[in-house]
Amino acid sequence: MAPAEVTIRKAAHNDVPTLRMLAEQFVLANLSQEAIDRHGFLVSNFSETAYREFIDRADHFYVIDGDKGVEAFILAYSSECIKTDAKVDMAAKAHHPTGFILIKQICVSPSAGGKGYGRTLYDWVREQSGGRAQYAAIVLEPYNAPSIRFHEKLGFHKVLEVVAADGMPRGVWARPAAKGE
């Protein structure tokens, strides 16, 4: 459950400029090696149009509102929402043919780092999805050690490697369904 001082809600169209600005701080091309080693990075530099489309189709796109507005977000959707042309997504679906949640992107504001918002969002999605298994793709070259450590602390383990359409290899990590699911 979320800490008392934050609110988790569905992402809305009026959040899009903030979501884009937040994510751009972690796009690989914009980071120093020190930042990459400390915080990890994103390779998906989604446009505002793409975020609006995700808001319309992703059933688990949430933000955390804190004192400074949107401080974190998670973009995730059920396996039933996967587009058939996304190579990494389809590999996860082939590996886990029953329902699961695909985490497409997670981002926490640098000023909110260390507050547990990433874990809170993953747990929130798990709760909202009835405890479904979760899958996340992480870029392997360059190696995204902070993201891998974060996911493994949450109970994820690597189950696949796939070369994505952009030519970058991804490891696909899975977190089993909650007990009883």
The confidence band for 50, taking pLDDT boundaries of 50, 70 and 90, is very high
Edge-to-edge strands, sheet with 169-175: 7-10, 60-66, 69-78, 100-108, 133-139, 169-175, 157-163
pLDDT at 1: 45
Q: Is residue 13 part of a domain?
A: yes
Q: Tell me how many domains the chain contains.
A: 1
Domain assignment of residue 48, given as a range: 7-175
Check which CATH number belongs to the domain holding 109 and give it.
3.40.630.30
Judge whether 132 lies within some domain. yes
181 located within any domain: no
Distance, CA of 121 to CA of 129 (rounded, Å): 12
Residue 101 is assigned to a structural domain of this protein:
yes
Domain for residue 2, yes or no?
Answer: no
pLDDT digits (tens, 9 = 90+) for 124-172: 999 999 999 999 999 888 888 888 999 999 999 999 999 988 888 999 9
Model confidence pLDDT, tens digit, residues 73-129:
999 999 999 877 788 899 999 999 889 999 999 988 888 888 899 999 999 999 999
Is 40's pLDDT higher than 90?
A: no
Would 118 be classed as within a structural domain?
A: yes
In a domain, 73, yes or no: yes
SS (H, E, C) 98-124: CCEEEEEEEEECHHHCCCCHHHHHHHH
On whether the CB atoms of residues 96 and 79 are closer than 8 A, the answer is yes
Cα separation, 46 vs 125, in Å, equals 21
